[in-house]
């Protein structure tokens, strides 16, 4: 017969081996899960191949250019915005508003309103009032809300903020 010490030693060895085997199975399962599923996730989130089409040449009249600067700046004769259509749309929207709505939309943005608008935007998805990311303005929203209305980039639609005379 085996002594009590031998039984305890064998039991400890068995428990250790079983614990190590269980951990090895868990590790193998985790490795399989991460290798198989992460490939599927990265495949799902990949950039679509149709969006990865590079434009390397541009047709200019009778000739073709492969100069990267010319390609980036083409078309040089891009149509300008149609100011008549723009005026027609703005006129239609303006006529559909009540006098109170026009007055409210035409007034300059105050700092409290700008601060509330900045804090309601998602930091890394929305552009800020002058093109900088909203996350930049959220570092000190009350400070920027007090400063930005002083500049012509934040103005009501009826102001001359973008005219050359106000610059």
Phi, psi angle pair for 127, to nearest 5°: -75, 150
What confidence score (pLDDT) does residue 91 get?
92
Tokens of 80: 């300008």
Could you tell me if 55 and 71 are in contact, meaning their C-beta atoms sit under 8 angstroms apart? Answer: yes
Q: Which residue ranges in the chain fall short of pLDDT 70?
A: 38-42, 49-52, 76-78, 151-167
Could you tell me if 128 and 137 are in contact, meaning their C-beta atoms sit under 8 angstroms apart? Answer: yes
Name the DSSP class of 78: P
What are 83-94's pLDDT values in tens digits? 999 999 999 998
What confidence score (pLDDT) does residue 32 get?
84
CA 45/CA 38 separation, integer angstroms: 10
User: Measured between alpha carbons, how far is residue 163 from residues 27, 102, 159, 166 in Å?
Assistant: 66, 21, 9, 6
Could you tell me if 156 and 107 are in contact, meaning their C-beta atoms sit under 8 angstroms apart? Answer: yes
């Amino acid at each position: 017969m085996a002594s009590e010490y031998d039984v305890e030693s064998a039991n400890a060895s068995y428990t250790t081996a079983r614990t190590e085997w269980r951990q090895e199975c868990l590790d193998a399962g985790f490795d399989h899960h991460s290798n198989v599923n992460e490939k599927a996730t990265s495949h799902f989130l990949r950039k679509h191949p149709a969006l990865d089409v590079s434009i390397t040449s541009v047709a200019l009249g009778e000739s073709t250019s492969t100069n990267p600067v010319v390609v980036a700046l083409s078309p040089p004769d891009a149509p300008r915005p149609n100011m008549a259509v723009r005026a027609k749309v703005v006129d239609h929207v303006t006529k559909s508003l009540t006098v109170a709505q026009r007055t409210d939309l035409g007034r300059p943005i105050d700092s409290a309103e700008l601060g509330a608008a900045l804090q309601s935007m998602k930091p890394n998805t929305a552009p800020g009032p002058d093109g900088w990311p909203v996350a930049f303005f959220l570092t000190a929203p009350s400070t920027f809300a007090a400063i930005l209305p002083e500049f012509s980039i934040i103005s009501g639609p009826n102001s001359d903020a973008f005219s050359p005379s106000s610059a």
